[in-house]
Structure 1
Amino acid sequence: MKKLLNLAAAVLFLASCSQPEKVVDAPHEFHPEWTKNANLYEVNIRQYTPEGTFAAFQTHLPRLREMGVDVLWFMPFQPIGVKNRKGTLGSYYSIQDYRGVNPEFGTEEDLHNLINAAHELGFKVMMDWVPNHTAWDHPWMTESPDFYYHDPETGLVTNGRDDHNNPTDWTDVAELDYENPAMMEAQRQDMLYWIDNYQIDGFRVDMAGGQTQDYWTETIQHLRAHNPEIFMLAESEYYYLHECRFDMTYGWEFHHLLNNVAGKGQDVATIDDYLARQAKDFPADGYRLYFIDNHDENSWNGTVEKRIGNNAHAAFVVCATMSQGMPLMYSGQEVGLNKSLRFFERDTIDWSAPSQEDFYKKALALKSTQGALANGSWGGTQTRITTNNPSVYAYSRVKGDNIVTVFVNFSNEEVTVSYSGAQDEDYLNWFTEEEVELEEAGEITLPANGYLVLTHGEC
């Protein structure tokens, strides 16, 4: 069998359906210091510019740095398989050569130039890693066919399977076998290649829940032996990945919850329920990735406007200030990307739309300037501020003298709400820079789809 015959992995997989009451909150001193106040920006090279190249994207680096972006996560930039390819250009996630560079995007020298330029400007650089499957014309298919998962009934290599080991329609990729030690070691060496030769600062691991806990524990140990400052993001909500020393996991549940609250009028109390489950299941210093858009959501589930209407900014404020969360932006979000980009074809982002960079610059600066909003357990405690309106969510984050208080109105109408549980202090309105006095309880008026972020004290 493919992945889950490993007994420890099987137990952990089943645990994802029946979570224990508390994960042991061991010290996770491995988080790199540079991630303490960081945010993340996903780069879709193919669609970013009309040229769709590394060199063309490189011209955007100063603008993104000025906007306050800290970490660039590049979608896969390795060569894309031809056999069984979907569409004209194929899926970024159908990797033909783990150590190669997609000629559609440029040369190895172009990629080196881009990464070096990003580092010189102060960015950290993460690359997408796809360990679950390869393209059908990856050299392993002929050189090491035993690296692949073979269907026990037919004896044939299967196409990609999901992280529950279920069949999918991913016919352009072939499933790898995580019971093969040689394949697992080859994967590790390919990851080390990018650290050693391109000075990659981290990996966003696609479908990280599709491999065993033992594999990731050992692999991350190897990677950090080469670079102790490497940052690891798992595209998964399996909490045990934090115990493997992944720094951050996806907040998929929170994203879908936010779509329901901001787009379908669901009661904001569901956010409280979510946070209670997170406190129970996830380690206190495990980072969670929060977002209103990414490549999957945009291409397959529709635009931000389609999903949450006029609440894009209000929802992002929550992502940027929520306990344990690191905020993510997607390519084009800063101009209100309002089309679903085609996944297998060229479909360039329209940069002529009105810029929203001023908002995102202020929102991202919250994370870098307010100690209460630092990532993981570096940040402050979060306390709910109660209101009498199911569309208004409010809370405070406190660390030392620093207080950040947030009110968000997800309704399409101006509201005046009663609240209680705030910190009675003098504040600065973060977005308008006006001075505000806030009492422990009172009334507050918020515009339709509006937000209020108040800051107080030393950061």
Structure 2
Amino acid sequence: MQNNWIKEAIIYEIYPRVFSEEGNFQGIINRLQDIKDLGVNTLWLMPIHKIGMKKRKGTLGSPYAVYDHFSIHPDLGDENDFKKLVDETHKKDLRLIIDWVAVYTAWDHNWIGQHPDWYRKNEAGEIVSPNSDWSDVAHLNYASCELQDEMIKTMSRWIEKFDIDGLRCDTAGNIYGFKPIVFWERAIKRLRTIKPEILLLAEWEDPQFHTNAFDLTYSWALYHTLRKIKTNEKNLRDLTSLESVKIPWTEKNYQINTTIRGAGFIQELLDAQKKEFPGGALRMRFIENHDELRAQELFGKDASRAYATVIFTLDGVPLIYNGQEIGETVRPSHFEPFKINWEADPRDVLRTGDRKGGLRDFYKKLIRIRKENPVLYLGDIKKIPTDCDENVYAFEKEYRNQLAAVVINFSPSFQMLNLKFPRDGIWKDLLNDETIIKSPPVNRFNRAGNQLQLAPYASHIFLYSPDERQK
């Protein structure tokens, strides 16, 4: 089930304890207007519960090591403070979802003592972690119907009591002892009886999760494809296979071996997943989140704009992780103290710009273009062939009376390419505030004819209108 607002969602992920100097709900409230001014419309809070002490990692522990699913971490505030945050968010016409950890708990969660049968155990009868790396959490066992009922009860309580707008379900496919999708279908059916318009986001990439369950799933395959393109950017002609693009925690491994090279794999992947996923399935598009390297560090200052343009011009729902919009290069630890440095220079960088050369202004513009032009997230996509497909990704999108063309150079070098626009007429470059007339007998195409010169990592979003002079 999908609600119309979800198709228009742009998610902003917040790590509450690092987002502000206060490190609490009030610190988020103080910056709600700044977040709204960026253009996003949906806030996702990483876990806000108390964190377990037993087997804790680091100084503060991971927010995903939940001590009590009914609790709020006292450093963030209390129930009244959280309700105030939800209310203030709604007053600004924003929505708010919270992270939900249903697969494991902290080792001192009260369920371990009261219901040890709710946990996965080894042959010796000892409760175990999901894997050796996640040693600070204990793996739940959903073979217990009582556990299933209790988990649904706790999820329901947050929607009923605080009127939140949805849940992001952590490692949703890692449920042990019971078929994950069967549990989630049951849980989500119950949650929608409380608030039908909620958003359910699965940290998982599986077509079946869209059937009678989640609105959104992670678009990991696209993210790892983009990473692979960046890694090979100096010689994309030699990138001839996506065989190493794997989906986390699964056996899924995309193997696309064709005559396609380099950036051409983006369209190949999108086409493959369109056949694989149900019609209308929405994917969360991202170039960073709390589990991945910062986009500025991974892709670089200039290239990150090109990769951001991809996720904001495709269908699905784009994500911005707090600090991404100012080019933060340090990924906050799950276990240690950290604060995003919004005040790196005398200006208020969240309000007036950023220390990385106007990156926040770029994101504001990119978001505005997306919101003003539904063709970008609702239109059908069609590849535009060029003679530089290994370095350049060009595509058109059409929806109702709108026609758009997007051209992105993933190369660190200038590219001179032959490219045929879908129609003759006037094409306005919304991202760069330029106009190209492609209508005989006039050709102002940077150079005569159909050749377009692209600067390194250049991004262009063209919107079509007929050339009235030809009528």
Q: What TM-score comes out, normalization by structure 2 length?
A: 0.85
* Distance change in 2, residues 1:439/1:414 (3 Å): farther
1:366 to 369, 382, 403: 369
Q: Which residue of 2 aligns with 1:15?
A: none
**Correspondence for 1:394:** 394
Aligned to 1:13: none
| Residues 93-150 of structure 1, C-alpha deviations (whole Å, 9 max, x = no match) | 0011111101121222211111111110011101001110000111111111111111
Q: 1:347-383 deviations in whole A, cap 9, x for unaligned?
A: 1112123452211111112332212123xxxx11101
Aligned residue pair count: 413
**Aligned-partner residue type, residue 214 of structure 2:** F
Report the structure number with the largest CA radius of gyration: 2
**Residue 15 of structure 2 corresponds to which residue in structure 1?**
44
* Per-residue Cα deviation, 1:233-260 (whole angstroms, up to 9, x for no partner): 1100011101132111100110011111
Is 1:195 equivalent to 2:195 in the alignment? no
The 5 Å alignment of 1:275-354 reads 275-298=270-293, 303-309=294-300, 310-322=302-314, 324-351=315-342, 352=344, 353-354=355-356
Code of the residue aligned with 1:388 in structure 2: it is D
* Percent sequence identity over aligned pairs: 32
CA-to-aligned-CA distance 1:292-338 (integer Å, 9 cap, x gap): 1100003xxxx32332223111101100111x321100000111011
CA shift, 1:435, in A, is: 2.7
1:217 match: 185
- Would you say the 8 A contact 1:408–1:450 is kept in 2? yes
1:450 aligned residue (427, 438, 458): 458
Q: CA deviation at 1:457?
A: 5.5
User: Match of 1:426?
Assistant: 426
TM-score normalised by L of structure 1: 0.87
1:138 aligns with 2:130: no
Q: Tell me whether 1:205 sits opposite 2:169 in the alignment.
A: yes
**108-117 or 65-74, which deviates more:** 108-117
Contact map agreement 1:401 1:456 (CA 8 A) in 2 = no
User: 1:421: Cα distance to partner?
Assistant: 5.4
Partner of 2:55: 84
Deviation at residue 439 of structure 1 after TM alignment: 6.0
Instruction: Report if aligned partners of 1:429, 1:452 keep a CA contact under 8 Å in 2.
Output: yes
More displaced, 120-129 or 416-425? Answer: 416-425
- Give the stretch that moved more between structures: 105-114 or 220-229: 105-114
Paired residue type of 1:279: K
Contact 1:263-1:311 at 8 Å conserved across structures:
no
| Shift, 1:434, TM fit | 3.0
Question: Does structure 1 retain, via aligned residues, the 8 Å contact 2:418–2:451?
Answer: yes
The answer as to whether partners of 1:65 and 1:123 remain within 8 angstroms in 2 is yes
Cα separation, 2, equivalents of 1:400 and 1:112? 41
Give the SS at the match of 1:387: coil
Q: In the alignment, residue 405 of structure 1 is paired with which amino acid?
A: A
Distance 1:414 1:396 in 2: 22
Deviations 1:364-413 (A, max 9, x none): 12332212123xxxx11101011111111110110111112100011112
Equivalent residues of 1:54, 1:105 under 8 A apart? yes
- How do 1:93-104 and structure 2 match up within 5 A? 93-104=64-75
Alpha-carbon distance between aligned partners in 2 of 1:154 and 1:431, rounded to the nearest angstrom: 61
Alignment root-mean-square deviation, CA: 1.7
The residue number in structure 1 matching 2:253 is: none
